[in-house]
Amino acid sequence: MKLTCLSKGDGFHFPPCHILIICGFRILLECPVDLSALTIFSPVPSDFHTVLDEENSDHAAQDSLNAETVCWKRQKAEKPLEAKNLIYAEPWYKTVKNLHLWNVSFIDIVVISSPMGMLGLPFLTRVTGFSAKIYVTEATARLGQLMMEDLVSMHMEFRQFYGFEESGFPQWMDRKELELLPSALREIVFGKDGEELGSWMPLYSAADVEDCMGKVQTLRFGEEACYNGTLTMKAFSSGLEIGACNWTINGPRRNFLSMERENVHSSTPLTTDSSNLGDGNSNSEEFIKSLLNIDESLEEMEKLAFVCSCAVDSVKGGGSVLISINRIGLVLQLLEQMSIFLESSTLKVPIYIISSIGEELLSFTNIIPEWLCEHRQQKLFSGEPLFAHVELIKEGKIHLHPAVHSPILLSNWQEPCIVFAPHWTLRLGPVVHLLRRWCGDQRSLLVLESGVDADMALLPFKPVAMKILQCSFLSGIKSQKIQPLLKILQPKLVVLPEYLRQEVTCSSTILFSVFHFSDKETLRIPSLKDSSEVEIATKASQLKWRKLKKKGMKITRLEGELLMNQSRYLLFPAKMTTSSKQRTSLLHMGSPNLERLLTMLSNMNVSGSLEQRMGESDNVGVIHVHDPYKALIEVGATSTVITSADEKLAGLIFKAIDSIMEGI
């Protein structure tokens, strides 16, 4: 088994990506896109012409936008970044860098554990020769599809603005132009080691997404999927996001648990209980519940409450609130909390959700009780809607609109208001337009996720007068939780990323070996079992045993077909056609006793005489058979040769030898 880290990821939206080779199959774990790299592009410039005019005063007539941007860049030295340093072009997307080093057609399986880990999938599935089986949980698949469709539709705005590109490479990717970029941007384009230019891709189309979804095999939590009879894959809720999971991959000799980023957090709208099985561990399934920490979930609830109270404050002050958080679980909770806060403050402020997928997303979240945490499931059993937004939409407190320019939205628009709008990078989607509207208003509030480089993200909107709240939410297991988790799982081997070496120190009381891996490196994980299990589909009594003289051992020859099913070997004995023909041993051990052989032969009415040369051991010699025909038995230390012109006699002699020797 080998594990190669393709990318160690970055934050909630860019999960790590690995390739695992197990039982000869290549498994790609996750296929994300680094959306944070989008910040090098300028959002669609709504006030572009004013920018253009300013620049025109300095330069003579410019032919194209790109030529113009180049000129700006030439002027600058290493001054602080400015909005005009950004790339004014239809953005490309940065995929996992080292994935390109692998031949896509040789990947056997793709395993996705969260909607974020799925966003790069169409890049892969549109490659000719891609034939891997993709396993995703049903909820992840649906949410991932919605997110991809949203991305495509938000990207359309760029396309409408810049028009279609004619040829393969956009102008901004030209070496010369890239050299001119400020170092901060260049680092994003090329990566730290300068190798990542090749990972930039133009966005997939809606058709690519549809095609990709057609290739996905969806599973439920706890459902076993068997690949090629050899590997059994099973998803367990990880609690990170709706449908997000950890995977166990069981082979005939290997059990592997992929725990990308366990979130043990009970109040997110997800079940967060199960997962188990370390590498090489037994098959039993235990569930971790003890790790559910009340403090941690309280902390998260407090953060949400803080966001809400800040929002209420700025609404009271007459400002609007723009929330660019895209984590579905968080948004759903925020919606509930926010309406409670507004209710108690007796403010009548509309909440808008502006997203092309908002309507579908919200109705989807209300029909998936199986994927939610116990507390939400309880709502199903008592006949209430799973999330409060169902009622809030009915009551007209939440308004759903597909885009900022929807006629109904424009006619109902009311400020101050609270708006949930994608995208968290502040480069795509309705958030861009609203930010332009409010960025100068110091009463307004922008709520950002942590992990976003706020300076960079807000660059095109500068100067920004509005208040900014950046809030970090749990996006994985805390490193101090790893140790207790391992204690519960009791794995035999643990593979941890290099950067956790310091943080997770393994006490000597824990009985497992730890391996560390780092970027781009391939780690070979030693095998623990030296044999596989096989089940023989016959009753023990039906086997014809041959007892051995020593050790109370008995042996029997097995013949049949070895099949693999559900990661287990099954041996189906061949139909008893062979039993009709006389079974003789094919393999003999030791050496025959010549005296016994002679008696045996004479019992069979075969007579012969023994000829032994002096100095040789007792069991070596030649027997001359005279009757019924002439024959010769040459017995050596490790071999015997039977010579006879008669088939029957030869057979008889063989039988005699066989009967006095051990064999199988």
Site for another protein in 339-398 (CB under 8 A): 359-360, 363-364, 366-370, 377, 380-381, 383, 385-386
Residues 113 and 117: their CA atoms lie apart, in Å, by 6
What is the footprint of another protein within residues 573-602 (CB under 8 A)?
A: 574, 584-592
640 counts as binding another protein under rule CB under 8 A: yes
Of the two residues 365 and 475, which places its CB atom closer to another protein in the complex?
Answer: 365
Q: How many residues make contact with another protein (CB under 8 A)?
A: 85
Backbone angles phi, psi at 375, to 5 degrees: -65, -40
490 counts as binding another protein under rule CB under 8 A: no
Of the two residues 86 and 244, which places its CB atom closer to another protein in the complex?
Answer: 244
Name, in order, each residue with C-beta under 8 angstroms of 649's C-beta and a sequence gap of 6 or more.
606, 625, 628, 629, 631
662 counts as binding another protein under rule CB under 8 A: yes
- C-alpha 99: how far from chain center: 13
Range in contact with another protein (rule: CB under 8 A) among 122-130, 298-306, 328-336, 643-651: 643-651
Q: Whose CA is closest to 504, among 496, 265, 512?
A: 496
Q: Which of 159, 610, 630, 660 binds another protein (CB under 8 A)?
A: 630
Of the two residues 188 and 633, which places its CB atom closer to another protein in the complex?
Answer: 633
528 counts as binding another protein under rule CB under 8 A: no
**360 φ/ψ sector (left φ>0, alpha ψ -120 to 50, else beta):** alpha
644 counts as binding another protein under rule CB under 8 A: yes
CA 128, 131, 132, 136 torsion-angle sign = positive
Q: Which of 464, 543, 620, 660 binds another protein (CB under 8 A)?
A: 543
For residues 235 and 262, the answer to whether their CB atoms sit within 8 Å is no
Of the two residues 162 and 654, which places its CB atom closer to another protein in the complex?
Answer: 654
Backbone angles phi, psi at 177, to 5 degrees: -70, -40
Q: What is the CA radius of gyration of the chain?
A: 36
Pairing of strands 588-589, 662-663: antiparallel
Range in contact with another protein (rule: CB under 8 A) among 10-18, 32-40, 261-269, 535-543: 535-543
Of the two residues 383 and 615, which places its CB atom closer to another protein in the complex?
Answer: 383
Q: Which of 536, 604, 610, 660 binds another protein (CB under 8 A)?
A: 536
Residues 193 and 83: their CA atoms lie apart, in Å, by 25
Q: Whose CA is closest to 432, among 156, 46, 52, 151?
A: 46
Query: Can you give 409-422 as a three-state secondary structure string?
Result: HHHHCCCCCEEECC
State the minimum distance, in angstroms, from the CB of residue 625 to another protein. 10
State the minimum distance, in angstroms, from the CB of residue 659 to another protein. 12
537 counts as binding another protein under rule CB under 8 A: yes
Q: Which of 10, 442, 569, 660 binds another protein (CB under 8 A)?
A: 569
For residues 100 and 199, the answer to whether their CB atoms sit within 8 Å is yes
Q: Which of 555, 583, 602, 616 binds another protein (CB under 8 A)?
A: 555
Q: Which of 60, 77, 511, 540 binds another protein (CB under 8 A)?
A: 540
Q: Which of 128, 183, 346, 639 binds another protein (CB under 8 A)?
A: 639
Of the two residues 250 and 333, which places its CB atom closer to another protein in the complex?
Answer: 250
**Which 8-state DSSP code applies to residue 41?**
B
What is the footprint of another protein within residues 222-261 (CB under 8 A)?
A: 222-224, 234
Of the two residues 98 and 366, which places its CB atom closer to another protein in the complex?
Answer: 366
**Which 8-state DSSP code applies to residue 370?**
G
Name, in order, each residue with C-beta under 8 angstroms of 91's C-beta and a sequence gap of 6 or more.
38, 41, 155, 158, 203, 427
What is the footprint of another protein within residues 157-196 (CB under 8 A)?
A: none
Q: Which of 560, 593, 620, 660 binds another protein (CB under 8 A)?
A: 560
CA 406, 411, 416, 418 torsion-angle sign = negative
What is the footprint of another protein within residues 114-153 (CB under 8 A)?
A: none
Q: Which of 46, 103, 556, 603 binds another protein (CB under 8 A)?
A: 556
Pairing of strands 109-111, 25-29: parallel
Of the two residues 293 and 377, which places its CB atom closer to another protein in the complex?
Answer: 377
218 counts as binding another protein under rule CB under 8 A: no
For residues 7 and 521, the answer to whether their CB atoms sit within 8 Å is no
Residues 89 and 165: their CA atoms lie apart, in Å, by 10
Of the two residues 379 and 481, which places its CB atom closer to another protein in the complex?
Answer: 379
| Other C-beta atoms lying within 10 Å of the C-beta of residue 68 | 18
State the minimum distance, in angstroms, from the CB of residue 290 to another protein. 18
What is the footprint of another protein within residues 278-317 (CB under 8 A)?
A: 284-285
Q: Which of 81, 469, 650, 660 binds another protein (CB under 8 A)?
A: 650
632 counts as binding another protein under rule CB under 8 A: yes
State the minimum distance, in angstroms, from the CB of residue 361 to another protein. 9
Q: Whose CA is closest to 640, among 656, 657, 627?
A: 657
State the minimum distance, in angstroms, from the CB of residue 126 to another protein. 25
629 counts as binding another protein under rule CB under 8 A: yes
Name, in order, each residue with C-beta under 8 angstroms of 540's C-beta and a sequence gap of 6 or more.
none
State yes or no: cis peptide before 628, omega within 30 of 0: yes
Of the two residues 344 and 582, which places its CB atom closer to another protein in the complex?
Answer: 582
Q: Which two tokens stand for residue 103?
A: 């031949």
Of the two residues 306 and 545, which places its CB atom closer to another protein in the complex?
Answer: 545
CA 126, 127, 129, 135 torsion-angle sign = negative
Of the two residues 77 and 586, which places its CB atom closer to another protein in the complex?
Answer: 586
Residues 164 and 162: their CA atoms lie apart, in Å, by 7
